[in-house]
Amino acid sequence: MKVNSVERVWLFLMLLMWSVFASANSHMKVVFINPGYATDNDSGDFWPNVNHFMVAAANDLNIDLVSLHAERNHILMKKLVSDAIALKPDYLILVNEKQMLPQMLEQLVGTDIKVFLLLNKFSRSQQASLPDNIKSKVIGCLSPNNKEVGEQLAEALIKRAGELKKEQLTMYALLGDYNTPAAEERRFGLQRALKKHPHVSLIDSTVANWSESKAYKKIYGVLSKHPADIIWSANDAMAFGAIAAVNKLKQSDKVIIGGINWDVHDKGYTTNVSFGGHVTLGAKALLMLHDNHLYPEKAGAMSQQLAIFESSDSLARAPFGKLLREQEFEQIDFSRFSVSSQQPLEFNLQNLVNTLH
């Protein structure tokens, strides 16, 4: 049977309408329960910046993103799950802060919402003890190598402390918290490094709950009585608190201080060493969900540990720091990292910087 020109036009229009309809139906809705604050605070600007990167990625990928903030309150974080359920998202991104993940997942049993874990995945004990009907809610996870960065930070600080020209070195460690997997893994990495350097003595370690002000008080108290050569900090906010204490005690030329996050600080404090990059992983999580949702035949593994951390000596540090200071998150073209791109880029800091408009 021959198809005349009118029928061809009609068929073309029908296909076009179907394509638009299919595209509209494929629009994703994602809710992210952010364990931190929406703006800069005493625990630094890591979690606000995680959110900024995610918003920029969501705009590039046509994702409807809603962020709910727990403000470092793990009880509130658990309660926010019911708010997330009411929004009826396709996907819910959760962080296993203070190991609250099981209580959050229990609320999702019976819903169609798929869960993706960001930065802090299941602990080993949770993985072993949780029933399958709860674990099955999780379709993927993305985390950095926190053990490795804890070790790398210690190694870099010990190397830098060679400037002090001492045969024996003393170290003080500021830990994040007692339960969050990232905090435990970074501490493990620190301990692994110390075993390789018997000339470095860990004189004390304490939890400062990721807080600049708490770190200041703890370091001011301990250094008033017991000098230290190195301060290892599980995040930059605590490192900034340590720097403030060292400056107050007029010991800045005697102590090497480092942290993790690449936070941009407005008080002029500069760590001797910092490792960062994982602040971008929320954006990478959205890329993974987007590609798996729309292009499952091309999408990569849905559970990944990404080697994202780089030191403050990295070539990407300066342009990345400028991006953070000037809040230029929308300048990154995240669509170039999707499998839908003609030549998808590998997700790393240098490529992110290279895509700046």
Neighbour count for residue 59 (Cβ, 10 Å): 14
Structural domain total, the chain: 2
Contact 335, 341 (CB under 8 A): yes
Shared domain check, 137 and 16 = yes
Q: Is residue 117 a part of any domain in this protein?
A: yes
pLDDT for 71 equals: 95
Taking the C-alpha atoms of residue 238 and residue 209, their distance in angstroms, rounded to an integer, is 9
Q: How much is the pLDDT for 26?
A: 55
Q: How many CB atoms lie within 10 A of CB 205?
A: 15
Of 231, 252, 276, which residue constitutes the final position of a domain? 276
Question: In terms of domains, do 161 and 72 share one?
Answer: no
Quickly tell me which residue has 């490529």 as its tokens.
351
Does residue 167 lie in a domain region? yes
Residue 2 lies in a domain: no
Those residues with Cβ within 8 angstroms of residue 180's Cβ, 6 or more apart along the chain or in another chain: 96, 97, 98, 99, 120
| Rounded-to-integer distance, Cα 58 and Cα 282, Å | 10
- CB count within 10 Å of CB 318 equals 11
Concatenating the DSSP letter of every residue in 246-303 gives HHHTT-TTT-EEEEES----TT----SEEEE-GGGHHHHHHHHHHHHHH-TTT---SE
Query: Both 251 and 301 in a single domain?
Result: no
Three-class SS state of 205:
strand
Contact 317, 310 (CB under 8 A): yes
Residue 57: predicted pLDDT: 98
Domain check: are 123 and 239 in the same one?
no
Give domain status of residue 249, yes or no: yes
Q: How far is CA 186 from CA 78, 113, 189, in A?
A: 25, 31, 5
Q: Which of 246, 276, 306 is where one domain is finished?
A: 276
Tell me whether strands 273-276 and 138-144 are parallel, antiparallel or unpaired: unpaired
Looking at residue 129, its amino acid is: S
- Verify that 296 and 341 share a domain, yes or no: yes
Task: Pull the structure tokens for residue 7.
Answer: 């029928």
Claim to verify: residue 96 and residue 183 sit in the same structural domain = no
202 lies in the same domain as 307: no
Task: Show the domain range for 154.
Answer: 146-276
pLDDT at 266: 66
Domain-terminating residue out of 276, 306, 331: 276
Per-residue confidence (pLDDT) for residue 17, from 0 to 100: 46
| Same domain assignment for residues 97 and 59 | yes
* CATH code for the domain in which residue 214 is found: 3.40.50.2300
The helix (H) or strand (E) run that includes residue 83 is: helix 74-86
Q: How many CB atoms lie within 10 A of CB 299?
A: 18
Q: Report yes or no on 91 lying in a domain.
A: yes
Q: Residue 56: its pLDDT value, please?
A: 98
Q: Is 266 in the same domain as 154?
A: yes
Identify whether 3 is part of a domain. Answer: no
Whether residues 88 and 117 share a domain: the answer is yes
Do 27 and 99 sit in the same domain of this protein?
A: yes
Identify whether 1 is part of a domain.
Answer: no
Closest CA to 98 of 215, 184, 40, 32: 184
Short-list 53, 49, 77, CA closest to 65 = 53
DSSP 207-254: E-TT-HHHHHHHHHHHHHHS--SEEEESSHHHHHHHHHHHHHTT-TTT
CB atoms within 10 A of CB 249: 15
Tens of pLDDT along the chain (357 residues) come to 444 554 444 444 444 443 444 444 458 999 999 999 999 889 999 999 999 999 999 999 999 999 999 999 999 999 999 999 999 999 999 999 999 999 999 999 999 999 999 999 998 889 889 899 989 999 999 999 999 999 999 999 999 999 888 999 999 999 999 999 999 999 999 999 999 999 999 999 999 999 999 999 999 999 999 999 999 999 999 999 999 999 999 998 899 999 999 998 766 678 999 999 999 999 999 999 999 999 999 999 999 999 999 999 999 999 999 999 999 999 999 999 999 999 999 999 999 999 986
Do 138 and 150 sit in the same domain of this protein? no
| pTM as predicted | 0.90
Dist. CA 342–CA 357, nearest whole Å: 18
The answer to whether residue 301 sits within a structural domain is yes
